[in-house]
Amino acid sequence: MKNRRTAVRLCGAVLGLGGLWLAMTQQPPVQDLTVERIADDLHVIVGSGGNVAVLTTDDGAILVDDKFERNVPAILEKVKSLTSKPIRYVLNTHHHGDHSGGNQLLMKDAEIVLHKNARANMVKGSQPGQPRLSFADEFAVNFGGKEVRARHFGAGHTNGDAAVYFPAHKVVHTGDLFVRGTPFIDYGNGGNSEAWLKTIDGILTLDFDTVIPGHGAISKRADLIKWRADFQTVRTRVKEMVQAGKSKDDVARTLKLDDLPGWSLSGLLVKSLPGLYDEVSKR
């Protein structure tokens, strides 16, 4: 990074051309996307934004999520390295912009599908790239001799999350219903921790070995089970603190998380904690 900046500065100094200097320094930053292989026809594009699954078929590619809009050129480049066929379908796991931000550019050529609540959240937030198609419980794409199923098991991260299942590979893409680290409970868009745990139980009824989380490393079924247990532990701890009369600030300051790998108070939980406190205070 430092070397590159020095090189650019040198170049600008030597050439002494203001316009060129401007053009060079205004180039978009290098996008650090990499491709990880699960099977010959199933890969994951990791880096900036949510994890993107790419299933290739003889007739075209099916994607799960499409990161931010600015990532689309790099996504297209990575897909091109996997197949000469176009992207025909994109399944959004939910409406957040780091998972659906590429919709606007991709929907010109591809059909994009998501849960109806996720679509409503996009409409509510005046988000660009609102898909033409949405579903209530389950949606399947049978294309190029392969099948992908998106299924809504209930609320969790938001009220419109879908887990996307690749039955032939025994792989599930959970979107942000599973992340390697602290979860964000988006209460403003129907997120709920109690429902979330039930939703994970629903996902676990699927027959899979490999999990593509919304963010973080490709994982195993056991990792999702462990994360669910940790989530339950955190929820129980907050509930017990509420019952012991602790204030929101007390909980934010003293909630014990150091025994749970990947969980941190400073992370998104700070954003989730006020809502979680209110949720477990009810009834």
Site residues (CB under 5 A) for Zn ion? Answer: 96, 176
If the CB atoms of residues 119 and 169 are measured against Zn ion, the closer one turns out to be 119
If the CB atoms of residues 144 and 191 are measured against Zn ion, the closer one turns out to be 191
If the CB atoms of residues 57 and 93 are measured against Zn ion, the closer one turns out to be 93
> Which residue type occupies 66?
D
**Closest distance between Zn ion and the C-beta of residue 25, in Å?**
32
**Closest distance between Zn ion and the C-beta of residue 238, in Å?**
21
If the CB atoms of residues 176 and 230 are measured against Zn ion, the closer one turns out to be 176
Of 16, 60, 53, give the one whose Cα is nearest residue 38.
Answer: 53
Q: Which residues pair with 53 in a beta bridge?
A: 44, 64
Question: CA neighbours within 13 Å on the CB side: how many for 69?
Answer: 7
If the CB atoms of residues 49 and 144 are measured against Zn ion, the closer one turns out to be 49
> Which residue type occupies 67?
K
**Closest distance between Zn ion and the C-beta of residue 157, in Å?**
6
**Closest distance between Zn ion and the C-beta of residue 220, in Å?**
22
If the CB atoms of residues 41 and 176 are measured against Zn ion, the closer one turns out to be 176
What percentage of the chain's residues is helix, strand, coil (to nearest 5)? 40, 20, 40
Residue 226, phi then psi, degrees to nearest 5: -65, -40
**Following DSSP, what letter does each residue of 15-26 receive, concatenated?**
H--HHHHHHHHT
Compute the distance between CA of residue 171 and CA of residue 127 in angstroms, rounded to an integer.
29
**Closest distance between Zn ion and the C-beta of residue 152, in Å?**
15
Token code pair at residue 165: 């299942």
Compute the distance between CA of residue 189 and CA of residue 183 in angstroms, rounded to an integer.
14
**Closest distance between Zn ion and the C-beta of residue 181, in Å?**
13
Compute the distance between CA of residue 239 and CA of residue 245 in angstroms, rounded to an integer.
10
